[in-house]
Amino acid sequence: MHMPSLATQFLHVLAAGLLMISFAMLAQRRIRRLIVLLAWQGAMLSASTLLVAITAHQSHLYYSAALTLALKVIVLPWILMRLMKRLGIAGDIEPLVNISTLLLVGLALVIFAFGLAQPISALATTVTRQALGIALAVILLAFLMIIARRKAVTQVIGILALENGLFFAATSATYGMPMVVELGIALDLLVGVFVFGIFFFHIREQFDSLDLHHFEALKED
């Protein structure tokens, strides 16, 4: 059996790191830690993109890596931190489902994602094709986190994590999307977070809390 190159092995390590961080986010109760984890996930993503850029000689991926670093490691976590402090919600968040069940469901999702990625990665020709299963797992885990949390802020973090997964899937399956698309998505994310921030203040003004169960009052009977 032929041994994969050092760079590929290193990529697999980074991918595994992404997955581990996803699980950590699923298990994390504190918002501050969640944001830190999100920043770490961004860093892993940026590093893996850089690595792919070097091994596959894809020059546009350098820009992607730089963009990811700037946006997902520095800017967005900083905005979220500020938001958290302004809203005064640094404490615990109660998950809807208890953490251990959540982790078990997450495990099942990872197996499902790997099964799903098998035929696709067989078709791909990139150096990172093995990582596709991980990327899908990251997406599904992020979705699970959005569902299982109660506070509105965690939903935003979930969406950002989901975007990380999508980005990783794109790099591992086809060496990333065209530059224009990536720039557009980055801008969307930034704007999205701002809009969410404004919404949070409005929600809090309306309900005196960011707890989503207050939304149940909006249902028409």
Partner 1 sequence: MTYLPFAYPLPALITLIAAWLVLGMLGLLQPQRVGWVARMLFPLGALVALGVAAVAVSALRAGFTPQVLVLPLGLPDLPFHLRLDALSGFFLMLLGIAGAGISIFAAGYFRRGEGTSPGLLGLQYHVFLASMALVVLADDAYLFMLAWETMALSSYFLVTSQHRIAEIRRAGFIYLLMAHIGALSILLCFGALHGGNWTMTFDAMRGASLSPAWADVAFCLALFGFGAKAGLFPVHIWLPEAHPAAPSPVSAMMSGLMLKTAIYGLLRVSMDLMHTGPWWWGLVTMLIGLFTALFGVVFAAVQTDMKRLLAYSSIENIGLIIAAVGLALLARSFDMNLLAALALAAALIHAFNHALFKSLLFLATGSVLHATGERNLGKLGGLIRYMPWVAMLALVGTLAIAGLPPLNGFVSEWLLLQAFLSTPAIPHSFINMIVPLGAAAVALTAALAGYVMVKFYGVIFLGQPREAQLERAHDAGVLERIGLAWLALGCILIGVFPQVALDAAASVTRALTGAAVQRGGTIWWIAPVSPAQASYSGLWLLAGLLGVVAVVFVIVRLFYHGRVRRVPPWDCGYRWLTPRMQDTAEGFGQPIRRIFGPFFRIEREVPAPDDAQPHYAIRIEDRTWRAIYAPITATVRRLADAVAVLQRGRLAVYLLYSFLTLIVLLMFVI
Kindly list the residues in this chain that would bind partner 1 in the complex (CB under 8 A). Answer: 96, 112, 115-116, 119, 140, 143-144, 146-148, 150, 155, 212-213, 215-220
DSSP string, 48-88: HHHHHHHHHT-HHHHHHHHHHIIIIIIIHHHHHHHHHHHHT
Please name the amino acid found at residue 182: E
- Residue with smaller CB distance to partner 1, 52 or 87: 87
SS3 track for 130-160? HHHHHHHHHHHHHHHHHHHECEHHHHHHHHH
Residue 49 or 151: which CB sits closer to partner 1?
151
Q: Compare residues 8 and 155 and give the one whose CB is closer to partner 1.
A: 155
Choose between 72 and 149: whose C-beta lies nearer to partner 1.
149
Minimum CB separation of residue 199 from partner 1 in Å reads: 13
Q: Minimum CB separation from partner 1 for residue 13, in Å?
A: 27
Residue with tokens 């999100």: 38
Contact 29, 70 (CB under 8 A): no
Q: Rounded to whole angstroms, how far apart are CA atoms 72 and 70?
A: 6
Rounded to a whole number of angstroms, the minimum distance from the CB of residue 62 to partner 1 is 32
User: Judged by CB, which is closer to partner 1: 78, or 215?
Assistant: 215
Minimum Å gap between C-beta 112 and partner 1 is 7
CB of residue 148 vs partner 1: minimum separation in angstroms?
Answer: 7
Q: Report the distance separating Cα 161 and Cα 198, nearest Å.
A: 20
Rounded distance between C-alpha atoms, residue 37 and residue 44, angstroms: 10
